[in-house]
Amino acid sequence: MVEKENFNEISESERISLKFNEMLDCINDDTDNTSTFSDVNFEEIENFEKEIKEQEICNEMDEIIDHLEQQNFMPCVIIDFIEGKFQRCKGTGKLRQLRNLFGTWQVDRDAVKEVDGVLSKLGVCDSHFQFDNKYLHQSLSKNQKGFNEGIIQWRQCISCKKYVTFFSRGVGCVIHTWYLNKKNIQVPCIGQYKCKALHSYQNLCNRAYENIKSLQSICCLCYEDLGGHIHRRSGIRGKSATTCITEKLHDDDITKGLEFIGNLLIKIAQMENNNEFGRTFGQKLWNSRLNINSKKSAMESPQTLQEYYDAFPEFLNDFFYGMVDEIYQKRMKICNIKRKKNNKLPKITIPEETIKIVTFITSILLNLAFPHLKVWLPRILASFSRMPRLLGYFRQLLRVFHLTSHTDRYERQLAKIRMNTTDPSKRLIKGNNIWNLAIIDNIDFKERTFKFGNIYDVTRGSSHATLRMAFQIQLPIEVKTGPEQVVELTAETSLFGMNQGIENTLTIFQQIIHELLNFKKINEEFTYNTNFNAETIKREILNRLDYGSCGESPNIVILEPGSNPNSDEEILHVAEMYKKDFAMESDSFLDIVADEAIFRRLIKCREKWPYIRPLLGQWHTSKDFCSVLLVLFSSYGLLSLASHLGVRFLDKFESAIDYRSTARVLDLIWAAVGIAINIYITKKKLLFSEIMNDEENDHICLKIWYLYYKWTGIWKAHRIGMRVGNFGLQRDSLSAAGPLYASAAKSNYTTAIAHFLATIAAHPQLEKKLNYCSAFKIPHDIDSGLHHVCFGFDEDLGERAVNSRQESLWELVNDLIVIFGMDDPLSHQLFQKYTPTEIHQEGLDRLIACYPNGLERIEGIYRQEVLKIESRNTKGRRAVGVVRTKVKDYNNQKKSRNQPVTMPTQPSQDEILNEQSTDNLPDTTKPQSKQKKHRTTKEEMEILSVLKVYKDKLPDDAIASVCEQLSEIWTKKKIKDWWNYHKDK
């Protein structure tokens, strides 16, 4: 068939032929019952449909008539119009071998079967032989094919679908075979002697000549039914035979053609009115509700599948059963052809499978039409879908209904094949401006269930692997793959401490809060705005800072994972796997990002591979920064402020288990402290820069929370730097935060920060790349109109354990303003539950000393671990610079206060005498520390044995009678226990 895009390139007559062909395929199913099925675009089904057309389940085949000398021939096997009907000739005059004929003749099928494969016994009478040679075919055409090409064709008539047999010399007659409507049509040659039913018409009907392929045969009877005429010989010498021409049988062909076209158009109109048919079908289903309600119990709780099937309306079952069964029959034909080639037994359709599919379809329709019915199957599917342990059965059920293409077992096999054949490195892109950034992390796998036994006595099995990813970033500059410039670092290189960048950022924070407060002095009183909160401050900060990393989203590829990252050797092996993935040169650096635990191992791997360039993951660092602040201010009232904001689980808060919640609390406290400080110093007419210059012991609490405001501002600047992709802000914030990590005893992170900042300073080209992409934009949807969002985490600002109402924030602000002006801040109600232990001058001095001491410690780590110009000394690295107080300490103090105090009392004179008298008693009279077990004596057994006569229940009077005979040791309960134990013995 001509494809749609080439339809305009063919002639008008060819278009008519194609349209006629399509309409005929849709209407006349008797002509080709496989045309619709073969339209399905599956290559295998198309091949099998072609094979079905060529050979209908091996009933269509060709057998060559071998040349064997025969003396006895079977009477003429030609089918002809004899004595008013089509039948076998059976003539015996001058018999010849059938293969002497030249044209195509229909022969008797039963006669061919009688010769049992010896086709040379088939005979033809002299009358048919002469008619074939003299009238049907010219003498010149006989020389084109030899006698040895005679064959018997086993065919199926395309009209009546009956199996018939033809004789032809070769594939078919080159004169009387036609190419009609794009198909080779074969009819007996005698049907075309005088009849002109088949004649040439451009692009619709032409002689096939030598181009004979995939013949579709028409028997003599069907040929006449379709408008053709088999020539009727007179049988009398000298008498002319009557023909369709002399009988004027073709005079009504135009009328019949118009009638055919009219019927064709009616059928097309009926076929295109499918919407009306569907509405009628739906109306009939709706009107059957009374019949459905009468079988409600069978639909809701059937006992068998057949009962459930029979409860549906009969017209629904019949319609869908016929449709599904017809599809099954088509598939079964294709399947059996394949099985026969493989010498396997043919399959048969199973009605139960069809019934299952029909019940599924009808259940959906009934559940849609009558939702008040509790149709059994949809409810079962709903139950299966929510039970994890029944998902296997649920998938099996979907497979039975053919809702899934294959079984769960086959899907697992496909998954294994995909995993074994996949090569994720093929998804990596190449280019001169592509920066390949490697990311590795630890993956934890836990078993779905515990081992057999008590789950409290065993641990769930787990395993670990190394996740390997590649982030490929398109830079606006060319990435050099050769040797890079490396700056030599010295002990004088300034890497840590406060810097101009972070100072400017903290100044911006202070200006924003001051501007939002909008102080005004009215009638000698200061007024300020209170219509903003922490979210307002955050939005203003984001508007003031510079954004970076505004390029396209990176190409992210998950590569082949590594083994358990529990050793330096395995981490080195995982890193070396990138050499092949990135096709790295020998002197190219591998930029690889990891958290602190793996970063520490990567630093060690540089001894074996100097071109590893580890980068410290910043979100992990930010989370640990939260722990730094919690440690440093735990004894200065931080827990009290968090509790005031609504934090209930302070033990989880101080451990920073949930980063988002912890960060939110610290951010809210920072906002409250910053607002309170600005209000207080404005009222007291203090300069912000002079808060820490006050040498007197006043304002201790103000100085403590000023340090919190400043150091938490560094954390906030680092966090926002990641949020907006500003690498300069990240670097400056991390440089300023390094001393705080050291004072909080974060030894591993302090060392990691020293290595990371040294790596950035030593490789200016790396810093240049990071300025382009220090954070990654990963949009949720593929939409070019999306605003830039750097990759981080979902900053969920909804209600959680923290009270985010604006009123609570300002209540804390007002409390802090009062506390800053109090001589005894510990007496305030805010600090009563979790009383700070370090709000005094010594505690303030320790807190102030944290930064210079920490700076000295991180610089020492830099000289020892990075430059290695000093010997390594780990003493004091895990010392905390302040006094740390945990929630557990407060809880222990609370328990000790609530525990009653018992004072020792003086014993009385009577107690002393009683004790002395007890000591003088013999051992037998002293009370025993443990009561001895009573053993039943022989006499007691005889008394109790009378109770064995009671089998079901022991009467109370019998118990009372026995109690009178036994000692006081035997209580009623003990007697019942004895009877329960001995009654069946």
- Burial environment of residue 399 by CB neighbours within 10 A (0 to 12, 13 to 18, 19 or more): middle
Residues 338-371 have pLDDT tens digits of 888 888 888 888 888 899 999 999 999 998 988 8
Per DSSP bridges, beta strands 183-186 and 177-180 are antiparallel
Separation of alpha carbons 577 and 31, rounded Å:
64
pLDDT class of 448 with cuts at 50, 70, 90: low
- Taking a C-beta distance cutoff of 8 angstroms, is the pair 152, 167 a contact? yes
Residues 508-559 have pLDDT tens digits of 999 999 999 999 988 878 899 999 999 999 999 999 998 887 667 889 999 9
Lookup: tokens for 804: 């985010």
For residue 653, what pLDDT is reported?
A: 92
What is the b/e burial string over 783-802, where b = at least 16 CB atoms within 10 angstroms of the residue's CB? eeeeeeebbbeeeeeeeeeb
Q: What torsion, rounded to 10 degrees, do the Cα atoms 33, 36, 39, 40 define?
A: -100
State what percent of residues in the chain have pLDDT above 90. 37
For residue 56, what pLDDT is reported?
A: 47
Specify which residues 522 forms β-bridges with.
525
In three-state secondary structure terms, 449 is coil
Q: How many CA atoms lie within 13 A of 85 on its CB side?
A: 2
Q: Is the pLDDT of residue 5 over 80?
A: no
The amino acid present at 620, given as its one-letter code, is H
For residue 234, what pLDDT is reported?
A: 72
For residue 526, what pLDDT is reported?
A: 83
CA distances (Å), 73 to each of 111, 122, 130, in order?
11, 6, 17
The amino acid present at 481, given as its one-letter code, is T
pTM of the model: 0.60
Residues 107-146 have pLDDT tens digits of 999 899 888 888 888 999 988 888 888 888 876 566 677 7
What is the b/e burial string over 248-260, where b = at least 16 CB atoms within 10 angstroms of the residue's CB? eeeeeeeeeeeee
End-to-end CA distance of the chain: 93
In the DSSP assignment, the letter for residue 660 is H
Q: Could you give the angle at which helices 659-683 and 806-820 cross, rounded to 10 degrees?
A: 50
For residue 32, what pLDDT is reported?
A: 37
For residue 468, what pLDDT is reported?
A: 95
For residue 235, what pLDDT is reported?
A: 67
Q: Is the pLDDT of residue 853 over 90?
A: yes
The amino acid present at 553, given as its one-letter code, is S
Separation of alpha carbons 338 and 48, rounded Å:
9
Residues 928-962 have pLDDT tens digits of 445 567 788 888 888 888 888 787 788 888 888 88
In three-state secondary structure terms, 88 is strand
Higher pLDDT: 248 or 911? It is 248
pLDDT class of 3 with cuts at 50, 70, 90: very low
Separation of alpha carbons 596 and 522, rounded Å:
54
Specify which residues 178 forms β-bridges with.
185, 207
Q: Is the pLDDT of residue 241 over 60?
A: yes
CA distances (Å), 195 to each of 85, 231, 442, in order?
18, 8, 86
Region 311-336 average pLDDT: 90
Closest CA to 93 of 125, 134, 118: 125
Q: 76-80, 169-173, 740-744: which has the minimum mean pLDDT?
A: 169-173
- The secondary structure element, H or E, covering residue 339 is helix 314-341
Lookup: tokens for 760: 């950035």
For residue 617, what pLDDT is reported?
A: 92
In the DSSP assignment, the letter for residue 790 is B
Residues 773-823 have pLDDT tens digits of 877 765 555 444 443 333 333 334 344 444 446 888 999 999 999 999 998
The amino acid present at 361, given as its one-letter code, is I
pLDDT class of 411 with cuts at 50, 70, 90: confident
For residue 38, what pLDDT is reported?
A: 35
State what percent of residues in the chain have pLDDT above 70. 83
Q: What torsion, rounded to 10 degrees, do the Cα atoms 120, 123, 127, 129 define?
A: -10
Q: Is the pLDDT of residue 50 over 60?
A: no
Instruction: Kindly write down the DSSP assignment for every residue of 676-732, as one continuous string.
Output: HHHHHHHHTT--GGGTTT--SS--HHHHHHHHHHHHHHHHHHHHHHHHHT-HHHHHH
Higher pLDDT: 915 or 37? It is 915
- When the pLDDT of each residue in the chain is averaged and rounded to a whole number, the result is 82
Separation of alpha carbons 621 and 619, rounded Å:
5
Region 560-583 average pLDDT: 92
What is the b/e burial string over 600-635, where b = at least 16 CB atoms within 10 angstroms of the residue's CB? bbbbebeeeeebbbbbbbbebbbbbbbbbbbbbbbb
Residue 240 phi/psi, 5° resolution? -75, 145
Q: Is the pLDDT of residue 963 over 50?
A: yes
For residue 965, what pLDDT is reported?
A: 83
Residue 927: how many other CB atoms lie within 10 Å: 6
For residue 834, what pLDDT is reported?
A: 92
When mean pLDDT is compared over 4-8, 642-646, 751-755, the highest value belongs to 751-755
Residues 660-719 have pLDDT tens digits of 999 999 999 999 999 999 999 999 888 888 888 866 667 899 999 999 999 999 999 999
Closest CA to 977 of 962, 491, 910, 794: 962
Closest CA to 30 of 174, 218, 170: 218
- Burial environment of residue 919 by CB neighbours within 10 A (0 to 12, 13 to 18, 19 or more): exposed
| H-type alpha helices, 55-138 | 109-114, 126-131
- Taking a C-beta distance cutoff of 8 angstroms, is the pair 402, 324 a contact? no
In three-state secondary structure terms, 663 is helix
In three-state secondary structure terms, 398 is helix
Q: 182-196, 570-584, 879-893: which has the minimum mean pLDDT?
A: 182-196
Rg of the Cα atoms in the chain: 49
pLDDT class of 23 with cuts at 50, 70, 90: very low
For residue 564, what pLDDT is reported?
A: 86
For residue 917, what pLDDT is reported?
A: 39
Separation of alpha carbons 803 and 73, rounded Å:
108
Separation of alpha carbons 882 and 700, rounded Å:
16
Higher pLDDT: 85 or 758? It is 758
Residue 466 phi/psi, 5° resolution? -110, 115
When mean pLDDT is compared over 454-458, 548-552, 716-720, 964-968, the highest value belongs to 716-720
Task: Give the long-range contacts of residues 785-788, CB within 8 A, separation 24 or more.
Answer: 788/547, 788/550
Separation of alpha carbons 591 and 612, rounded Å:
7
Separation of alpha carbons 564 and 463, rounded Å:
8
Lookup: tokens for 211: 């181009």
Sign of CA dihedral 384, 386, 387, 391: positive
Higher pLDDT: 207 or 268? It is 207
pLDDT class of 635 with cuts at 50, 70, 90: very high
Region 597-603 average pLDDT: 95
In the DSSP assignment, the letter for residue 83 is T
For residue 271, what pLDDT is reported?
A: 57
In three-state secondary structure terms, 33 is coil
Residues 261-310 have pLDDT tens digits of 777 667 666 655 777 778 888 888 898 888 888 998 998 899 998 999 99
Instruction: Kindly write down the DSSP assignment for every residue of 515-557, as one continuous string.
Output: HHH--EEETTEEE---S--HHHHHHHHHHHSPP---SPPPEEE
Q: Is the pLDDT of residue 860 over 60?
A: yes
The count of residues in the chain is 985
Closest CA to 715 of 643, 624, 647, 776: 624
Sign of CA dihedral 198, 203, 209, 214: negative
Greatest CA span in the chain, whole angstroms?
164
Region 163-169 average pLDDT: 90
In three-state secondary structure terms, 979 is helix
Higher pLDDT: 981 or 432? It is 432
How far is C-alpha 75 from the chain's CA centre? 73
- Taking a C-beta distance cutoff of 8 angstroms, is the pair 143, 57 a contact? no
Q: Sheet harboring 150-156: ordered strands across?
A: 61-64, 150-156, 163-169, 105-107
In three-state secondary structure terms, 606 is coil
Q: 30-34, 405-409, 540-544, 743-747: which has the minimum mean pLDDT?
A: 30-34
Residue 977: how many other CB atoms lie within 10 Å: 11
- Burial environment of residue 98 by CB neighbours within 10 A (0 to 12, 13 to 18, 19 or more): buried
